[in-house]
Amino acid sequence: MSGKAWLLVLAALLGGFYLKYQQRISQYDPRNSTGADGIVMLSAEWCGYCKALRLELDGMGVDYRELDIETSEEGELAFQAVRARGVPVLIVGQEIIRGYDPGRARELIRAAGHTLTER
């Protein structure tokens, strides 16, 4: 088999493995369970912006689910599934906010039909 043929075989194998990985990891995407109005926050204990966002969400009086990407396998897999590169990550319905953006969070949470408690 020539060098090009081996490269094609290798590329096909790697592509197949990558596709299988993506299919497996996509089942952990939080958007699969948030519906139109669910809220999930991906965080890490040491993250100052995560703490600030947690305070914002608590101040809004909304229910949300928090997954730690370092202490929870579900959190780690969710982080990979949404292809995040840092925390916090906030999922509101089917929308993803990467990083600390309380204004955008408030906007999406209202748009999802939640009534906010303002401090």
Please tell me the total number of residues recorded for the chain in this structure: 119
Rounded Cα distance between 112 and 60, Å, is: 14
Kindly report which listed range (20-29, 50-59, 105-114) carries the lowest average pLDDT score.
20-29
Cα–Cα distance measured from residue 45 to residue 104, given in angstroms and rounded to the nearest whole number: 23
| Cβ atoms of residues 62 and 107 within 8 Å | no
Per residue in 90-101, pLDDT (tens digit) is 999 999 999 999
The label of the residue with tokens 């949470």 reads 109
User: Which domains, from first to last, does the chain contain?
Assistant: 3-111 (3.40.30.10)
pLDDT in tens, 19-38: 565 666 788 999 999 999 99
- For 80, residues 6+ apart whose C-beta sits below 8 A from its C-beta are 25, 28
Taking the whole predicted model, whether its pTM rises above 0.85 is answered as no
Average pLDDT score over the chain: 90
Q: Over the chain, what HEC string results?
A: CCHHHHHHHHHHHHHHHHHHHHHHHHCCCCHHHHCCCCEEEEECCCCHHHHHHHHHHHHHCCCCEEEECCCCHHHHHHHHHCCCCCCCEEEECCEEEECCCHHHHHHHHHHCCCCCCCC
pLDDT band at 77 (very low <50, low <70, confident <90, very high): very high
